[in-house]
Amino acid sequence: MPRNRSLRLAALGSTVQRAAAPAYSTARGRNALRRRVVAGVLVALSLILITGYFRESDNGALHGVQGATASVLRPFQIGAERVARPFQDGYDWVAGFFHAKSENEALREQLQALRQQAIQNTTAAQENRELRNALKFRSGPMYPSGYDQVAAEVISYGANQFQQELVISAGRNAGIRLNDPVTDSQGFLVGHISKTTSKTAEVSLLTDGDFSVAGRDAYTGTYGLVSHGQGAGETLILDLVPKDKVIRENDLIVTAGRRSARLPSLYPRNIAIGVVTSVGQTDVDIHQAVQIAPLADFSSLNVLLVLVPKSR
Amino acid sequence: MASDILKAAGVFFVAVVLQSAIVSSIEPGGGTADLVLVTLTAVALLRGAVFGAVVGFYAGFLLDAADLETLGLSSLLLTLAGYWIGRYGETTGRDRAHAPLLAIAVVTVLFALGSLAMHYVLADPVSARAGLVDALPAEIVLNLLLTIPVYALCRRIFARPSARPAVEVELGT
DSSP state string for B151-170? HHHHHHHTPPPPPPPP----
Give the type of residue at A283: D
The mean pLDDT values, 10 residues at a time, for chain A of 312 residues are 49 46 66 89 94 87 90 90 86 79 85 89 88 78 77 83 84 90 91 90 87 87 84 78 86 80 74 89 79 87 88 74
Q: CA of B102 to nearest chain A CA: how many angstroms apart?
A: 21
Question: Residue B152 has what pLDDT?
Answer: 93
User: Does the distance separating the beta carbons of A162 and B119 come in below 8 Å?
Assistant: yes
Contacts of A53 in chain B (CB under 8 A): 70-72
User: Does the distance separating the beta carbons of A35 and B20 come in below 8 Å?
Assistant: no
The mean pLDDT values, 10 residues at a time, for chain B of 173 residues are 88 94 83 93 93 95 90 94 93 84 94 90 79 87 94 88 68 67
- Cα–Cα distance for residue pair B71/B54, rounded to 1 Å: 16
- Cα–Cα distance for residue pair B59/B64, rounded to 1 Å: 9
The count of other CB atoms within 10 Å of the CB of residue A79 is 13
* Burial class of A242 by CB neighbour count within 10 A (0 to 12, 13 to 18, 19+): exposed
Q: CA of B159 to nearest chain A CA: how many angstroms apart?
A: 22
Q: B56 by DSSP, 3-state: which?
A: helix
Question: Residue A258 has what pLDDT?
Answer: 65
Interface test with B, best of A160, A204, A298, A304 (most B CBs within 10 A): A160
Interface test with A, best of B5, B25, B32, B76 (most A CBs within 10 A): B25
Question: Residue A159 has what pLDDT?
Answer: 66
Closest of A172, A281, A273, A173 to residue A223, by C-alpha: A273
Closest of A149, A160, A166 to residue A200, by C-alpha: A166
Element (H, E) at A151: strand A147-157
User: Does the distance separating the beta carbons of A232 and B130 come in below 8 Å?
Assistant: yes
Q: With beta carbons less than 8 A apart as the criterion, state whether A70 and A199 touch.
A: yes
Own/partner long-range contacts of A289-292 (Cβ < 8 Å, ≥24 apart): A289/A237, A290/A224, A290/A237, A290/A238, A290/A239, A290/A241, A290/A247, A291/A229, A291/A235, A291/A236, A291/A237, A291/A238, A292/A215, A292/A226, A292/A235, A292/A236, A292/A237, A292/A238, A292/A253
The model carries a pTM of 0.74
User: Does the distance separating the beta carbons of B21 and A155 come in below 8 Å?
Assistant: yes
Minimal-distance CA residue of chain A relative to B35: A159
